Structure 1
Amino acid sequence: MSVWRFEAIGTSWEIETSAPLPAVARSAVEELLAAFDAAWSRFRDDSLVAALARGAGSVPAPRDAADLLETYAALSDATDGAVNPLVGASLERLGYDTAYSFAASVPVPAPADWRERVRLDDGHLTVAEPALIDVGAIGKGRLVDRVAALVATHVDGDLVVDASGDLAVRGRPVRVGLEHPFDPTRAIGVWTVADAALCASATNRRSWGDGLHHVLDARTGGPVRAVAATWAVAPTAMRADAIATALFFDGGARLAHEWGVQWVRMLTDGRVEWSPGCGAEVFGATASVEP
């Protein structure tokens, strides 16, 4: 396998292909990543979401906007509002801001009426008043899907796109360790993934201060406390990432069942749960959970 490693959208990427990726393909991937970042990054002053946060009422809608907002609507309904694309201001309030200040203030909830504030109109993404959209892990999952599809048009055979926790696999199966959130040198299990995507989320990643991390409950603006890590396997990385996010909240397991997504999660008390019929090999005595 040929491996291409690089940094993009603030994270590490690794693309494995059965044959070296031609220069034209690498350029196309870089252009795709740059365009996505220019649209959705809340860490860039010149992005479209930054313009909306500053006061621009409308910007040209990125090509992913409809699918991302539709996914957020499903997650919001399933989790009773715990997942919300306007959580960006809540993250900044806790110090996860453009300057990475990590200086936390009192948490603020995200607006519960986000669907009335954010809409798509005639090819434009519009906000009723300034608001900071954060598509988070779900956006990264969407990007992994698009990169995998693009790379597949340039090379035949096996393909793995790994964006630091978001993994898309085409061709030969890949055996993936499920990193222990309390000890990164250990795994709580392994999962063999074939022609699917595996996405993970954990509170020990992008964490700072005393109990502060990037997984927030939009209803309070504060970090989640009951779940430490989640993993989900689905046909697309966007759906896998969506379920990995939803599993931090009540309702996530039911949505996973409705979407046919397998999952594993570890609670902060050390217990491990998984979906019925899950294909992961989980170490130790734990329990499956009915939706």
Structure 2
Amino acid sequence: MTRIAFLDVDGTIQEHGDAIAPSTVRAIRTARANGHLVFLCTGRSAGDLHPKVREIGVDGEITNGGAFGTRGDELLFADPMAREDTERVIAFYQSEGMHYFLQSNDAVFASDGVGPFVDEFFRERREKAREELHRLGAAEDEEGGAEPPQVIAYQPMDGADLDAIAKSTFISLRPDGVERAAAALGERFHVVRGSIPLPGGSNGEIGLRGTNKGSAIARVLDRLGLDARDAIGIGDSWNDIEMFEVVGTPVAMGNADPHLKELAGRVTTSVLEDGVWNAFAELGLV
């Protein structure tokens, strides 16, 4: 029986410092060789996926938390926010003095103050990536001595097309930043805790209500003529809840929040402890 697996990226395929367990690469490639389908299902924009994630090879991608879907080179759907929605989100950030990112499907754009605020944080994450790669037995010259890519590769905000924004993330110095965003923006917007660790008191993700990983998976399954009962969803983040609700077999990573593990019901090991491989093995994909 052919099955389809939807995999979160940060905290599932790659550790948040961008290290990838070799067994994860083997798991995805072996599952596909065995006739199963594997899709990325991430909050990242397509243009911000780590090159080593792309090198693995998958059958398709859900990006920007469900706003875009592709299979190979075919665009299945594209649902960026309306310009007035993006402008409303920006106005909220400015009223709160928050640093923020805007995501199109091709790139990530950072507000003016975010660079100095996060550069040191990202440097620490890149150093952690080096340590994790060494621990996993990666060759010392694997990166060619070059500085690893940033955790988020961002561009100046003045280059953003406000008619093409699909999602936004923010950094709040307050511990209740996510709650304040949800209250201020109302039911039209979907606000969840951020999936990539960032500095500050709290961070979150904002998209349109009804545009999420779960709704995107349902659209992909419909286009491919596949049953949700045969779908697997593996993740570790708050934006994976809707994915868990749609697929027949939800799996939480060992590094996920305890509440997410409870929602999924099935739990594998952590991202750098063969989590994807062990899940695929238990489910018969490898």
Instruction: Tell me the TM-score normalised to structure 2 length.
Output: 0.32
Higher helix share: 2
Instruction: Tell me the TM-score normalised to structure 1 length.
Output: 0.31
Higher strand share: 1
Greater RCO (Cα-Cα under 8 Å, separation 6 or more): 2
